């Protein structure tokens, strides 16, 4: 009797084993990720893109491509090598040409790197960097990119939002060239890393890299806000103000509330257009897409384009004087009231964050 | 210098669209169409550069069905000098559009090409748009022509006297970036660049006599590239409807106790915490997915399955099944049939195909159940025989 049971066990096990090997027939996937770095460290959007690359298939090798110049580049490279266990290689292009991330030299660089090694997938995050450069790369490779991917179903099937997030479109890439994607990083959160693995860092030989004799695109300058507040795209709490705030001074209330909750400040297009805040705080379809744990909107009416940028938030709280504002249809908790009274009350009554 | 502006006929941006129940696309009955707002801004900027004396001619281009002529007439009424209509009888991917624009640029030799940054709700023929919100065409045209690009332009483009450079302020994630691009170049426009003018009645009348040239893909020698297929269009998971609270105190109370957003557990990573922790969140997602799938297939909206109730049910089923198994009732093994209900939910079986890593564990679980049942049967049988 025992023998009968044992043999049956073996039979079933071998069947299961066969099943596993069939499912691993996916083709060899090697991914090149365009990495963004700033002041010597990798941006969180790049790490989210690595997480997304993991969903492409079992046997994937992930290479990060960094370009820039000087010591901050080398620092970023060594940080990139240990940012995620699935990174197998870090390629570094060190040249003055890449001091600022311009699309023209970057696209040529990606093509140059790809000619030396065949990649099945080329990824970047759906940030202004990725959106600027990746379509140019795709056109150079004569492939159609899939942009703003929120879910990866396989090595060539993806889901992306359309119609301001009111519908989800499942697309399949059927081309022969590399699959070029931009990833919506809010859909691929990064879990804290427990194991640390250091990838190899290799400097790319740029001696044969020929860009157009006269580079016709030149970086002139930039105006950025330096704040200690968390980055809007990856913050866990976002506090947004709309046009109802009426002035730059009033926005300070929003900033105080954000500081109390340890969150980032956002704004609607109307508020940015009116000049209350700079454009990098804009949340919405043509601004930043955010997916925080807590999203609080003060004086925001809830236009379709704004809602497109906040739909994936876990909890949405809305405060507005107008009870018919569309924002209340998406909000989990709505409070009809004057934000000029509600915000000071909240500031008073919220406990300090630990 | 000539400026080429690509304009697109799209669903009016204020229209709210609905996904068709058969998932083939969206409902397009009697939907209002107009020029893409980004394209209007692109055209406006081109007209301003011409009025400043830096350009001689503004040419508007549109690719699509015969109705595109209406959009081109609007462009001519705003002030464009002439228009080109490339006839197309199907939806094209941005790469094909870019190739068409490149061929046109080779013919027309413009000094600047303006495009809108992105296109929303373009529905020339199909009931879904392949190029919706893609934000790709401008960059691709620049790559194919080998020209520099300045995307997401938000501040007035200033040309220097010799018309060799354009200074463009771009909106990037970190703020504003200023680039100087050598001409000819491709510029894509963002919403803050300018406020487009309205077409006045005299201009609309004048536009009727401005030429619109018709071209075909064969004339431009462009091959259609279609390497992306649309499999289906679905609605995103619906958010649970919210509650209106009546005071700040109530709001804080709800956030503290009900919301799954662990505001108060911000720095604590606990296994289960107040809301069940990461495991419960995962389960909640899967239950929502199962719910959504069942709802869409059965045409009935099922009420949301509560995570807590679901996990309690599953755990108790295992517990009871185990206890009964021990008491030598084969029924216990069958009770563990919860696997057949829970596993599809837990392993997302409908969305994951053989390539996904959850596929094999799911079947292993089912096999486990089979083994479980058959062993139990065998043991019971042999015990009965012994007796």
B375 shares a domain with B279: yes
On whether residue B243 sits in a domain, the answer given is no
Q: What CATH number belongs to A30-203? A: 3.40.50.620
Residues 6 or more apart whose CB falls under 8 angstroms from that of A248 comprise: A275, A276, A277
Tell me: pLDDT of A316 over 90: yes
Using CB atoms and an 8 Å cut-off, which of residues 96-115 of chain B contact chain A?
Answer: 98
pLDDT for residue B2: 93
- The C-alpha atoms of residue A297 and residue A315 are separated, in whole angstroms, by 11
Tell me: pLDDT of A93 over 60: yes
On whether residue B230 sits in a domain, the answer given is no
Beta-strand runs (E) in B184-273:
185-189, 212-215, 228-234, 243-245
Rounded mean pLDDT of chain A?
86
Residues annotated within a binding site of A for FAD: 243, 268-269, 282-286, 299-306, 320
Tell me whether B23 touches chain A (CB under 8 Å): no
**Both tokens assigned to A289:** 């897409």
pLDDT for residue B316: 75
Q: Do B240 and A332 touch (CB under 8 A)?
A: yes
B278 shares a domain with B208: no
* Predicted confidence (pLDDT) per residue in B257-284, tens digit: 876 545 544 433 334 444 555 555 556 6
Tell me: pLDDT of B232 over 70: yes
Tell me whether A289 touches chain B (CB under 8 Å): no
Q: Which of A63-67, B294-298, B342-346 has the lowest mean pLDDT?
A: B342-346
Eight-state DSSP code of residue B19: B
pLDDT for residue B127: 40
pLDDT for residue B117: 82
Using CB atoms and an 8 Å cut-off, which of residues 208-237 of chain B contact chain A?
Answer: 225, 227-236
pLDDT for residue A21: 41
**SS3 label, residue A159:** strand
Of B181, B200, B220, the position where a domain reaches its end is: B220
Using CB atoms and an 8 Å cut-off, which of residues 119-158 of chain A contact chain B?
Answer: 127-129, 131-140, 142-148, 153-155, 157
Q: Which of B17, B182, B254 sits opposite A216 (nearest CB)?
A: B182
What's the rounded mean pLDDT across residues B113-126? 66
Which residues in chain B are contacts of A217 at CB distance < 8 A?
A: 148-150, 179-182, 185
B262 shares a domain with B158: no
pLDDT for residue B20: 73
Question: Which residue of A19, A135, A281 is the best one to mutate when testing the B interface, meaning the one whose CB has the most B CBs within 10 A?
Answer: A135
pLDDT for residue B4: 96
pLDDT for residue B124: 38
pLDDT for residue B90: 79
B266 shares a domain with B189: no
Q: Do B370 and A12 touch (CB under 8 A)?
A: yes
What's the rounded mean pLDDT across residues B42-47? 94
- The C-alpha atoms of residue A23 and residue A1 are separated, in whole angstroms, by 34
Q: Do A104 and B148 touch (CB under 8 A)?
A: yes
Q: Do B352 and A165 touch (CB under 8 A)?
A: no
pLDDT for residue A12: 45
Tell me: pLDDT of A20 over 70: no
- The C-alpha atoms of residue B362 and residue B327 are separated, in whole angstroms, by 28
Q: Are strands A121-125 and A179-183 parallel, antiparallel or unpaired?
A: parallel
What's the rounded mean pLDDT across residues A136-152? 94
Residues 6 or more apart whose CB falls under 8 angstroms from that of B99 comprise: B144, B222, B223, B225
Q: Do B363 and A19 touch (CB under 8 A)?
A: yes
Q: Do A12 and B225 touch (CB under 8 A)?
A: no
Interior/surface letters B135-151, b for 16+ CB within 10 angstroms, e for the rest: bbbbbbbbbbbebbbbb
B274 shares a domain with B188: no
Q: Which of B16, B249, B267 sits opposite A349 (nearest CB)?
A: B249
Confidence at B336, pLDDT banded by 50, 70, 90: low
Query: B367 or A89: whose pLDDT is higher?
Result: A89
β-bridge mates for residue B84, sequence order: B61, B213
* Predicted confidence (pLDDT) per residue in B50-94, tens digit: 999 889 999 999 998 898 899 999 999 999 999 999 998 877 888
For chain A, give the percent of residues with pLDDT over 70. Answer: 89
Q: What DSSP string runs through B278-290?
A: HHHHHHHHHHHHH
pLDDT for residue A22: 40
Is-same-fold flag (A30-203; A237-349)?
yes
| Closest of A113, A189, A270 to residue B285, by C-alpha | A189
Q: Which of B252, B357, B367 sits opposite A16 (nearest CB)?
A: B367
Closest residue of chain B to A153, computed from CA coordinates: B352
* Predicted confidence (pLDDT) per residue in B121-177, tens digit: 544 334 444 456 678 899 999 999 999 999 999 987 777 777 688 999 999 888 889
What's the rounded mean pLDDT across residues A99-123? 92
- The C-alpha atoms of residue A132 and residue B188 are separated, in whole angstroms, by 10
Tell me whether A207 touches chain B (CB under 8 Å): no
Q: What DSSP string runs through B147-205?
A: --EEEEEEEEEEE-TTS-EEEEEEEETTEEEEEEEESSEEEEE-TTS--PPPPPHHHHH
Q: Do B136 and A135 touch (CB under 8 A)?
A: yes
Tell me: pLDDT of A166 over 90: no
Query: B356 or B5: whose pLDDT is higher?
Result: B5
By residue range, what is the domain housing residue B177? 2-220
**SS3 label, residue A4:** helix
B324 shares a domain with B194: no
Of B202, B220, B238, the position where a domain reaches its end is: B220
pLDDT for residue B128: 42
Give helix A251-261 / helix A339-349 axis angle, nearest 10°.
30
Give B300: exposed, middle or buried? Use CB within 10 Å, 0-12, 13-18, 19+.
exposed
pLDDT for residue B269: 35
Radius of gyration (Cα) for chain B, nearest Å?
A: 30
- The C-alpha atoms of residue B319 and residue A114 are separated, in whole angstroms, by 55
Query: A223 or B215: whose pLDDT is higher?
Result: B215
Q: What DSSP string runs through A208-254?
A: T----SS--EEEEEEEE---SSPPGGG-SEEEEE-GGG-STTTHHHH
Q: Which of A215-219, B86-90, B98-102 has the lowest mean pLDDT?
A: A215-219
What's the rounded mean pLDDT across residues A91-104? 90
Query: A147 or B363: whose pLDDT is higher?
Result: A147
- The C-alpha atoms of residue B132 and residue A147 are separated, in whole angstroms, by 10
Max Cα–Cα distance, chain A, nearest Å? 84
B68 shares a domain with B16: yes
Read off φ and ψ for residue B298, nearest 5 degrees. -95, -5
CATH of the domain at B122: 3.40.50.620
pLDDT for residue A296: 94
Q: What is the rounded (10 degree) CA torsion for B256, B257, B259, B260?
A: 100
Tell me: pLDDT of A243 over 50: yes
pLDDT for residue A354: 43
Eight-state DSSP code of residue A329: G
Tell me: pLDDT of B301 over 60: no
Which residues in chain B are contacts of A334 at CB distance < 8 A?
A: 242-245
Tell me: pLDDT of A168 over 80: yes
Using CB atoms and an 8 Å cut-off, which of residues 64-103 of chain A contact chain B?
Answer: 102-103
Tell me: pLDDT of A213 over 50: no
Please give the C-alpha separations between residue B338 and each of B288, B306, B349, in angstroms, as whole numbers.
Answer: 18, 17, 15
Tell me whether A317 touches chain B (CB under 8 Å): yes
Tell me whether B239 touches chain A (CB under 8 Å): yes
B257 shares a domain with B215: no
Tell me: pLDDT of B29 over 90: no
Query: A250 or B275: whose pLDDT is higher?
Result: A250
Contact call for residues A315 and A333 (beta carbons, < 8 A): yes
pLDDT for residue B30: 73
Measure B46 CA to nearest chain A CA, in Å. Answer: 20
Please give the C-alpha separations between residue A183 and each of A93, A128, A309, in angstroms, as whole numbers.
Answer: 23, 12, 15
**SS3 label, residue B215:** strand
Q: Which of B121, B172, B259 sits opposite A315 (nearest CB)?
A: B259
| Domains: count for chain B | 2
Q: Do B355 and A26 touch (CB under 8 A)?
A: yes
Answer yes or no: CATH 3.30.565.10 is held by domain A237-349.
no
pLDDT for residue B280: 57
| Closest of A262, A320, A264, A311 to residue A285, by C-alpha | A311
Which residues in chain B are contacts of A317 at CB distance < 8 A?
A: 251, 255
Q: Do B180 and A23 touch (CB under 8 A)?
A: no
Contact call for residues B196 and B160 (beta carbons, < 8 A): no
Contact call for residues B183 and B164 (beta carbons, < 8 A): yes
pLDDT for residue A35: 94
**SS3 label, residue B353:** coil
pLDDT for residue B126: 42
Please give the C-alpha separations between residue B93 and each of B13, B37, B133, in angstroms, as whole numbers.
Answer: 21, 20, 12
Whole-angstrom distance between the N-terminal and C-terminal Cα of chain A? 62
Confidence at B215, pLDDT banded by 50, 70, 90: very high
Q: Do B148 and A216 touch (CB under 8 A)?
A: yes
pLDDT for residue A199: 87
Confidence at A10, pLDDT banded by 50, 70, 90: very low
Tell me: pLDDT of A297 over 60: yes
Give helix A128-140 / helix B94-108 axis angle, nearest 10°.
70
* Predicted confidence (pLDDT) per residue in B5-25, tens digit: 999 888 777 777 677 777 766
Query: Highest-confidence range of A71-75, A207-211, B91-95, by mean pLDDT?
Result: A71-75
B267 shares a domain with B212: no
What's the rounded mean pLDDT across residues B28-33? 74
Tell whether pTM > 0.80: no
Q: Which of B147, B225, B230 sits opposite A169 (nearest CB)?
A: B230
Read off φ and ψ for residue B68, nearest 5 degrees. -60, -25
For chain A, the structural domain boundaries read 30-203, 237-349
Query: A338 or B303: whose pLDDT is higher?
Result: A338
pLDDT for residue B50: 93
Tell me: pLDDT of B352 over 80: no
**Both tokens assigned to A139:** 């056109």
**SS3 label, residue A129:** helix
- The C-alpha atoms of residue B368 and residue B374 are separated, in whole angstroms, by 10
- The C-alpha atoms of residue A194 and residue A192 are separated, in whole angstroms, by 6
**SS3 label, residue B212:** strand
Tell me: pLDDT of A300 over 90: yes
| B59 CB-side CA count, 13 A | 20
Rounded mean pLDDT of chain B?
77
* Predicted confidence (pLDDT) per residue in A323-337, tens digit: 999 999 899 999 999
Interior/surface letters A248-275, b for 16+ CB within 10 angstroms, e for the rest: eebbebbebbbebbbbbbbbbbbbbebe
B293 shares a domain with B196: no
- The C-alpha atoms of residue B292 and residue B239 are separated, in whole angstroms, by 11
B262 shares a domain with B200: no
β-bridge mates for residue B35, sequence order: B9
B377 shares a domain with B252: yes
- The C-alpha atoms of residue A173 and residue A146 are separated, in whole angstroms, by 8
| Closest of A284, A300, A314 to residue B242, by C-alpha | A314
């Amino acid at each position: 009797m025992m023998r009968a049971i044992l043999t049956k066990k073996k039979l079933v096990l071998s069947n299961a084993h066969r099943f596993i090997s069939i499912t691993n027939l996916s083709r060899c996937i090697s991914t090149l990720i365009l990495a963004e770095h700033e002041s010597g460290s990798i941006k969180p959007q790049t790490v989210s893109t690595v997480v997304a690359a993991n969903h492409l298939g079992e046997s994937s090798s992930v290479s990060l491509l960094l370009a820039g110049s000087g010591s901050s580049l080398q620092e970023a490279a060594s940080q990139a090598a240990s940012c995620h266990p699935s990174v197998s290689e870090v390629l570094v292009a060190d040249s003055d040409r890449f001091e600022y991330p311009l699309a023209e030299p970057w696209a040529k660089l990606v093509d140059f790197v790809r000619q030396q090694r065949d990649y099945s997938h080329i990824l970047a995050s759906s940030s202004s960097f990725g959106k600027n450069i990746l379509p140019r790369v795709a056109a150079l490779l004569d492939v159609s990119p899939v942009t703003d991917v929120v879910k990866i179903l396989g090595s060539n099937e993806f889901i992306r939002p359309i119609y301001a997030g009111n519908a989800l479109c499942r697309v399949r890439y059927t081309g022969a060239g590399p699959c070029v994607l931009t990833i919506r990083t809010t859909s691929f959160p990064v879990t804290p890393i427990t194991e640390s693995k250091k990838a190899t860092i290799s400097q790319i030989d740029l001696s044969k890299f020929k860009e157009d004799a006269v580079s016709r695109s030149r970086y002139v300058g930039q105006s950025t806000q330096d704040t200690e507040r968390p980055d809007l795209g990856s913050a866990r709490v976002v506090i947004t103000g709309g046009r109802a705030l009426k002035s730059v001074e009033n926005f300070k209330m929003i900033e105080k509330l954000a500081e109390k909750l340890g969150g980032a400040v956002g704004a609607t297009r109307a508020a940015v257009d009116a000049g209350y805040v700079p454009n990098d705080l804009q949340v919405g379809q043509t601004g930043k897409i955010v997916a925080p744990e807590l999203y609080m909107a003060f004086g925001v009416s809830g236009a379709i384009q704004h809602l497109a940028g906040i739909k994936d938030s876990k909890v949405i709280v809305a405060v507005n004087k107008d009870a018919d504002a569309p924002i209340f249809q998406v909000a989990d908790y709505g409070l009809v009231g004057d934000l000029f009274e509600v915000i000071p009350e909240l500031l008073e009554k919220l406990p300090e964050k630990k | 210098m000539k400026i080429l502006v690509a304009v697109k006929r799209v669903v009016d941006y204020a229209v709210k669209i609905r996904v068709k129940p058969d998932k083939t696309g969206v409902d397009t009955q009697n939907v209002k169409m107009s020029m893409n707002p980004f394209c209007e801004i692109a055209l406006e900027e081109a007209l301003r550069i011409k009025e400043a004396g830096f350009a001689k001619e503004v040419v508007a281009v549109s690719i699509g069905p015969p109705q595109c002529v209406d959009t081109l007439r609007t462009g001519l009424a705003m002030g464009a000098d002439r228009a080109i209509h490339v006839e197309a009888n199907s939806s094209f991917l941005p790469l094909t559009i870019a190739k068409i624009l490149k061929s046109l640029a080779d013919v027309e030799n413009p000094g600047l090409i303006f495009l809108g940054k992105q296109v929303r709700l373009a529905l020339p023929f199909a009931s879904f748009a392949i190029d919706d919100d893609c934000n790709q065409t401008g960059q691709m045209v620049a790559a194919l022509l080998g020209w520099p690009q300045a995307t997401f332009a938000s501040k007035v483009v200033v040309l220097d006297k010799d018309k060799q450079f354009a200074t463009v302020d771009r909106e990037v994630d970190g703020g504003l970036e200023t680039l100087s691009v050598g001409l000819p170049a491709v510029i894509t426009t963002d919403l803050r660049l300018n406020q487009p003018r309205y077409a006045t009645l005299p201009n609309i009348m004048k536009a009727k006599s401005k030429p619109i040239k018709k071209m075909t893909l064969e004339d431009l020698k462009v091959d259609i590239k279609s390497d992306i297929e649309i499999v289906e269009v679905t609605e995103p998971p619906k958010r649970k409807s919210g509650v209106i609270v009546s005071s700040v105190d109530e709001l804080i109370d709800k956030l503290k106790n009900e919301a799954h957003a662990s505001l108060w557990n911000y720095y604590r990573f606990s296994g289960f915490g107040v809301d069940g922790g990461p495991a419960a969140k995962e389960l909640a997602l899967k239950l929502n997915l199962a719910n959504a799938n069942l709802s869409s297939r059965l045409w009935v909206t099922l009420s949301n399955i509560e995570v807590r109730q679901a996990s309690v049910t599953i755990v108790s089923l295992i517990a009871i099944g185990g206890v009964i198994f021990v008491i030598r009732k084969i029924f216990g093994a069958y009770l563990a049939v919860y696997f057949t209900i829970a596993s599809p939910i837990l392993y997302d079986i409908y969305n994951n195909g053989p390539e996904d890593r959850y596929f094999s564990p799911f079947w292993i679980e089912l096999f486990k159940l089979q083994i479980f049942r058959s062993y139990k049967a065998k043991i019971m049988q042999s015990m009965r025989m012994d007796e």
